[in-house]
Amino acid sequence: MNLIVIGLNHRSAPVEVRERLAFAKTALAEAHTRLLGANPVHEVVILSTCNRVEIYALADNIRDASCAVRQFLHDHHGLTERVDSHLYEHRDDSCIRHLLEVACGIDSMVLGETEIFGQVKDAYSLAQDAGTTGVVLNRVFQKVFSAAKHVRSTTAIARGSTSVGTVAVDLAEKIFGKLPKCTVMVIGTGEMSAATARALQSRGAGAILVCSRAQERGEALAVQLQGRAISYDQWPNEFPGVDIVISSTAAPHPIVTREKLGPLMKLRGRRPLFLIDIAVPRDVERSCEELENVYLYDIDDLQQIAEENRAAREREIANCQTLIDQHVRRLAEWLENNRAAVEDRYRQRVTGSPVADPAHPQIS
């Protein structure tokens, strides 16, 4: 009785291969039951995200199971050529370790990201609903969830943001606390400024104003962000009520100068102002940072913080591995101790012999 995972991820396969092997959400439940019904496996969980497709299975004969799962992948997606060179395979301890690394975000493209944890959870509950999990995968997945939580909360693997947009959100939250009371002004309609505004919005930022020299584009972005478009000359008038400014115009000279900002700051009382300047050449004069209550970050500042956070996460991998080792050892021990009992149970199911035989070992 062995655990096996066969799959591919962003490192082992290019997107052209990954997209062909991805499972449609609607077809997942059926795929679970099909794989279990026609193949020499006892339990199955399929994890399919944009960066990975993995099939976790419990089987008597690992070689047969490996062939069957590979064949299933090819058949299910109607592939004409083999993709085996892109597939990786882990067994038993190393399968548990892989699942735990995936759940912790260590195996992700963005190291330590937390979205994958929810995706693994969803995959497991879908398999559970489809009735393709059993005593072993139930145990393994549930223990992996609590282990992953433990790893994430006791190490810094998920700490600090690693993209420009989320770094800006972190900073905004450390200035203003909660964001719903904050008004955001977007000057210019670059893709990066829209992404940053969206990141702020996703954490609950309040009203959004969009101001652009090209009025049509400004209005289009305002519709996208469910904000209000204002004309370019109007921004100083709106300024006293704005808390966060995201600037990304193509202007060759600074548009927010210290001279302009000084008097405007006086109208704001003691409210701080967060200036996010992602334009190159820069839109905000550097000397604005000397004004009290002004917090100015340009694209390099944000990128540097994101880079530092990424480096800090990478330094945490060793700490994570130490914890992961402990959790894997515990789960592997359980699997070893109960191997006979599990094998027995599945044999009974196949032969149909009665379960209540005191001679049979119990699963602890």
Partner 1 sequence: MNGDRIFLWLAQVFYATSCVVTLRRLRAAGAGPELQRANYAAMACGFAFHTVFLYLRGHALGRCPLTNLFETQAFITWAAVLFFLLIGPSYRVSFLGAFTAPLVLVICLAALLSPVDVAGSAPPNHSPWIEFHAAIAVLACGAFALAFVTGGMYLFQERQLKTRRLTSSFLLLPSIEQLDVIHFRLLIMGFGMLTVGMAGGIVSYHIVGHWTIPKIIWASSVWTLYGAVVAARGLWALRGRKVAVASMASFTVMLVGFWGVNLLQR
Shortest Å distance, C-beta 120 to partner 1: 21
In the complex with partner 1, the residue whose CB is nearer, 253 or 270, is 270
Strand pairing class (52-59; 294-298): unpaired
In the chain, what are the helix, strand and coil shares in percent, each to the nearest 5? 55, 15, 30
The answer to whether the bond into 263 is cis (omega within 30° of 0) is no
The residue annotated as part of the active site, out of 50, 67, 182, 320, is 50
Catalytic (active site) residue 95:
no
**Residue 289: HSE in the Cβ half-sphere, 13 Å Cα cutoff:** 7
Question: Closer to partner 1 at the Cβ: 146 or 337?
Answer: 146
Binding site for partner 1 (CB under 8 A): 153-156, 159-160, 170-171, 173-177, 269-270, 272, 289, 292-293, 295, 297, 301, 305, 308, 312, 316
Strands 88-91 and 228-231: unpaired
Rounded least distance, CB 289 to partner 1, Å: 7
Q: Which has the closest alpha carbon to 99: 349, 356, 324?
A: 324
Residue 238 or 289 with smaller CB distance to partner 1: 289
Assess contact for 224 and 194: CB atoms under 8 A: yes
C-beta of 301 vs 343, nearer to partner 1: 301
Min dist. Cβ of residue 293 to partner 1 (A): 6
Q: Which is nearer to partner 1, 252 or 269 (CB)?
A: 269
Distance from C-alpha of 182 to C-alpha of 172, rounded to nearest angstrom:
9
Shortest Å, Cβ 200 to partner 1: 14
Smallest distance from the beta carbon of 274 to partner 1, in angstroms? 9
> Residues 271, 273, 277, CA angle at the centre, nearest 5°?
175
Identify the residue whose tokens are 């599945």.
346
Judge whether 226 and 186 are in contact, CB under 8 Å: no
Spatial CA neighbour of 248 closest among 222, 207, 284, 214: 284
CB of 290 to partner 1, least distance (A): 10
Residue (80 or 153) nearer to partner 1, CB: 153
CA distances from residue 144 to 250, 326, 341 in whole angstroms, order as listed:
49, 12, 21
Annotated catalytic residues are 50
